[in-house]
Structures are given as C-alpha cells and as structure tokens.
C-alpha cells in the first residue's frame, strides 16, 4: 500500500508540478502532443473558480477533446 501511495505521489509531482506548472524547468519548450494536451486539460480544469463548475481533467489520461484541440492548433500553425 505504501509503495502504491509513493508511486502516485511521484506521478502527481512529475505531472502536476513539473510538466503542468513547470516549477522545475524541464519540459518548458516541449512539442510533445501529450504534454500539450494535458496542459490544455489542466487549464480548462482551473477555468472556473467555483468548484461546482470546474471539470475533471484526469491526471494521466487526457480526454479526446483536448487531443483534438492540440491537433487543431497544430494544423492552424502549419497554415
């Protein structure tokens, strides 16, 4: 149980603190689609200040609508 909690904590730290909020500057200029999608999903998670209107973004699994947003943005940049 302790190992599972530790692995979740490490995953949370890596995804939330390093990749999303960039508290340690490792992935600041990444062109990785997964990183772009999870950052977008997290932005939408915090879009509303009221907890009842916020949306869950999942921590490691990104919803299709955010992948679509990243693809759309990339197509717009190519034009």
What is the pLDDT confidence band of residue 10, given thresholds at 50, 70 and 90? very high
Residue 19: both structure tokens together? 């990749």
- Residue pLDDT, tens place only, 13-57: 988 888 888 888 777 777 888 888 888 888 887 777 666 666 666
Structural domain boundaries, residue 67: 2-78
**Residue scoring higher pLDDT (50 or 65):** 65
Q: In this structure, what are the phi and psi dihedrals at residue 7, rounded to the nearest 5 degrees?
A: -65, -40
**Number of structural domains found in the chain:** 1
Q: What is the pTM of this model?
A: 0.67
């Amino acid at each position: 149980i302790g190992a599972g909690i530790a692995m979740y904590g490490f995953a949370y730290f890596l995804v939330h603190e390093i990749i999303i909020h960039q508290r340690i500057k490792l992935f600041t200029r990444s062109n990785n689609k997964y990183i772009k999608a999870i950052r977008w999903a997290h932005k939408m998670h915090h879009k509303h200040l009221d907890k009842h209107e916020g949306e869950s973004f999942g921590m490691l699994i990104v919803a299709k609508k955010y992948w679509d947003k990243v693809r759309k943005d990339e197509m717009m940049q190519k034009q």
